Amino acid sequence: MSIEVQQLRFAVMTADAQSFSRAAASFNVKQSTLSRRVRLLEDRLGIKLFDRTTRGAEVTENGKVFIEQARRIVTDIDNLRTTARNVSYGLEGRLGVGYCTPLMAGNLKLAFTDYLTRFPDVQFDGVEAGPEKLFQSIQSRSIDVAVAPVGLAETGIRSRPLWSERLMIALLEGHRLSEHERIYWPELRREVFVLPSDGLGPILGNLLSARLTEQGFRPNVIYQETSLASLLAMISVNRFVSIATEAVE
């Protein structure tokens, strides 16, 4: 026995309207069409749902039990459709987002706050990791999206720029460049850089190599297993310099 959802809708509306004509008008179909579909439903069920009179349609005692169950089914199906639509539009469901810690200090934190305010029904799962780990998580589908610095190209992963930030240099007070409003790359060739060994550190190190490597010269970069914030504190008591994104300023 096959019962169509539309037949259930017709039966429920007929019961609510107590009239085949009014029910047909609400669906914008001919009364004969709706009445025939309801009759076919009755034949398939083997019970009479409505007493048809000149005054309209009255639900039978057997019909009352069926109509209430049909109403729940129609409501559940409508809710399923709404949920499926909301999930496809990103209004419900789960969103796994990977990010690097230094990025949380600026635009990304504001973006997360705005998203959670606009879509409170989304289960938001944040994953903090370095760029390489984030791209592995994307490939394994354990997260949906990753926000990471530019410079990592992975096959099969599409990316787009979200924003750009200036690079800031951290110097010891009294350093020969500390009074400069703007510092150019060639002025940094003889400096000793200290960077974190994970997170943004390798990305910034690659950038230093790309900008400062010339005629056999390579920048002097020391990697430390500590946070970027701790490295910035180290600069005040050592001869090192460091670079960071604008968000860490």
Q: How far apart are CA 235 and CA 243, in angstroms?
A: 11
Name which of 49-58, 66-75, 106-115 the model is least confident about: 106-115
Give the domain-ending residue among 43, 71, 88. Answer: 88
Give the residue-averaged pLDDT of 174-183. Answer: 86
* Domain finish residue from 88, 105, 130: 88
pLDDT at position 9 is: 94
pLDDT of residue 43: 93
pLDDT tier at 173 (50, 70, 90 boundaries)? confident
The mean per-residue pLDDT over the stretch 78-104 comes to 79
pLDDT at 32 (0 to 100): 93
Q: Is residue 157 part of a domain?
A: no
CA distance 180 to 153: 34
Evaluate if residue 247 carries a pLDDT over 70: no
For the four alpha carbons of 127, 129, 134 and 140, in that order, the dihedral sign comes to negative
Together in a domain, 174 and 244: yes
Residues 82 and 116 in one domain: no
* 157-to-144, 153, 154, 245 alpha-carbon distances in Å: 11, 8, 6, 24
Angle at 214 between CA 211 and CA 219, to 5 degrees: 60
Into how many domains does the chain fold? 3
d(CA 242, CA 249): 12
The reply to whether 27 and 78 lie within a common domain is yes
Do the Cβ atoms of 47 and 62 come closer than 8 Å? yes
In the chain, where does DSSP find H-type helix?
5-17, 20-27, 31-45, 61-88, 107-118, 131-139, 201-212, 228-235
Most confident of 56-65, 154-163, 206-215, 218-227: 56-65
d(CA 145, CA 117): 19
Q: Are residue 137 and residue 183 in the same domain, yes or no?
A: no
Q: What domain range includes position 108?
A: 93-147
Residues in the chain: 249
pLDDT above 70 (res 215): no
Q: What is the pLDDT of residue 150?
A: 64
**Average pLDDT rounded to a whole number, residues 62-82:** 91
Are residues 177 and 222 located together in one domain of the fold?
yes
Selected residue with higher pLDDT from 21 and 174: 21
Residue 65, amino acid: V
Pairing outcome for strands 93-99 and 145-147: parallel
CATH label of the domain that carries residue 134? 3.40.190.10
Least confident interval from 24-33, 190-199, 225-234: 225-234
C-alpha 131/C-alpha 126 separation (Å) is 14
